[in-house]
């Protein structure tokens, strides 16, 4: 089918990015593959993240999520202050924010923010989830720019500690909300963590059996040696929803908006949905771009259908059609 994504020509700021990625891909893939032949997954993650850092530095572009940058006049969500639980994990402490709905929760959501971001920056999204009856469990990952620099994790260690956050928060959820269905929602880097919980990248052995569905805003892009070669994303074992846009780029890793659709295309057919928002950027999740309300309605419908076994929601999701602002693929 014809591509619904425009062809992007890199600007001057990142004109070197494509060359940097091409020159680094082979090195990253070979190094990561060598480690994958052994048992030391932490070394493997270190090699991968070293490659990513090198690409970012060589290209002169920041890979940090825009969540770390305040936006003038940004709309604020009307959220009650979250509860904070200091969750011990592997000799460190996770700052877990818990956002409860007004009434008794119907389901629980693990929410993973983008690189350098924070749960607070996702409060519009959290408010929608809470209004739909979900309790949201959102850890502050170790790479967040809110963490003082002397304690902040670099990208080399962030992957493994984020996976540790997923495991620790999911175990906490099983104790605190044992009777609630459980799903994952993530943005960018966080979307990859959610998909790992749903069964992707099995070499990390980090599947969370309680996770019944995963919704992703954007993706971190195709990462040679990690999401490549093919076969590493296809192992997701739960229904997925990917929300991206025709202007969804993050330099230097996703120069082409089409790269986000690759995550959808490699999921098992039948339990996958892709929403492509016309004109939406990598910052769409923050609620400042067109068609946000429509996309949030579809997100909530997806979660109600998959987590709450809501028959009406399932029918609504299945009958949703492409419109002027949102293209739907299944």
Whether residue 308 is predicted with pLDDT greater than 60 in this model: the reply is yes
**Residue 56 has what DSSP assignment?**
H
* Tens-digit pLDDT profile for residues 171-199: 999 999 999 999 999 999 999 999 999 99
- The model's confidence at residue 3, banded by pLDDT at 50, 70 and 90, is low
Strand ranges of the sheet holding 211-217, from the earlier edge strand across to the other edge: 83-89, 92-99, 134-140, 107-112, 182-187, 211-217, 240-247, 272-281, 326-329
- H or E stretch including 73? none
Domain 79-329 sits in CATH at 3.40.50.1820
What pTM was estimated for this model as a whole? 0.81
**Using only C-alpha atoms, what is the Rg of the chain?**
19
Mean pLDDT over the full length of the chain: 82
The winner for highest mean pLDDT among 79-93, 238-252, 255-269, 304-318 is: 304-318
CB atoms within 10 A of CB 251: 21
- H or E stretch including 243? strand 240-247
Q: By three-state DSSP, how is residue 42 classified?
A: helix
Parse the chain into domains and list their residue ranges: 79-329
Asked if 196 contacts 163 with a C-beta cutoff of 8 angstroms, the reply is yes
Question: Higher confidence at residue 12 or residue 170?
Answer: 170
Whether residue 168 is predicted with pLDDT greater than 90 in this model: the reply is yes
Q: What's the pLDDT at 78?
A: 54
The two tokens of residue 209 are 């059996």
Find the range with the poorest average confidence among 13-17, 80-84, 152-156, 304-308.
Answer: 13-17
Question: Higher confidence at residue 24 or residue 137?
Answer: 137
- Strand partners of residue 217: 187, 243
Asked if 185 contacts 129 with a C-beta cutoff of 8 angstroms, the reply is yes
Q: What's the pLDDT at 129?
A: 98
Planar angle of CA 244, 248, 254, nearest 5 degrees: 110
Burial class (CB in 10 A: 0-12, 13-18, 19+), 309: exposed
Q: What's the Cα-to-Cα distance from 281 to each of 212, 248, 256, 289, 297, rounded to whole Å?
A: 28, 4, 12, 8, 19
User: Nearest Cα to 111, choosing from 8, 16, 193?
Assistant: 193
């Amino acid at each position: 089918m014809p591509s619904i994504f425009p062809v992007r020509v890199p600007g001057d700021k990142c004109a070197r990015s494509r060359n940097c990625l091409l020159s680094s891909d082979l090195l990253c893939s070979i190094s990561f593959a060598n480690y994958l032949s052994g048992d030391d997954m932490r070394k493997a993650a270190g090699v991968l993240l070293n490659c990513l850092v090198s690409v970012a530095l060589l290209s002169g572009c920041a890979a940090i999520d825009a969540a770390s940058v305040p936006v003038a006049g940004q709309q604020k969500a009307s959220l009650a202050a979250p509860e904070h639980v200091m969750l011990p994990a592997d000799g460190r402490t996770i700052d877990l924010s818990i956002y409860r709905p007004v009434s008794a929760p119907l389901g629980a959501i693990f929410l993973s923010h983008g690189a350098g971001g924070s749960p607070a920056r996702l409060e519009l999204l959290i408010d929608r989830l809470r209004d739909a009856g979900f309790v949201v469990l959102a850890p502050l990952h170790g790479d967040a720019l809110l963490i003082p620099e002397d304690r902040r994790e670099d990208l080399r260690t962030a992957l493994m500690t984020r996976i540790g956050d997923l495991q620790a928060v999911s175990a906490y959820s099983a104790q605190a909300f044992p009777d609630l269905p459980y799903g994952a929602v993530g943005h960018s880097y966080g979307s990859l963590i959610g998909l790992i919980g749903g069964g992707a990248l099995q070499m990390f052995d980090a599947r969370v059996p309680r996770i019944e569905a995963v919704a992703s805003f954007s993706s971190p892009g195709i990462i040679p040696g990690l999401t490549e070669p093919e076969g590493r994303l296809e192992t997701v074992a739960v229904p997925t929803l990917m929300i991206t846009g025709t202007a969804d780029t993050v330099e230097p890793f996703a120069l082409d908006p089409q790269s986000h659709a690759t995550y959808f295309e490699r999921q098992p057919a039948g339990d996958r949905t892709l929403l492509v928002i016309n004109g939406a950027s990598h910052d769409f999740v923050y609620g400042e771009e067109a068609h946000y309300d429509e996309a949030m309605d579809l997100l909530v419908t997806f979660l109600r259908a998959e987590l709450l076994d809501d028959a009406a929601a399932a029918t609504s999701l299945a009958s949703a059609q492409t419109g002027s602002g949102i293209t739907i693929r299944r």
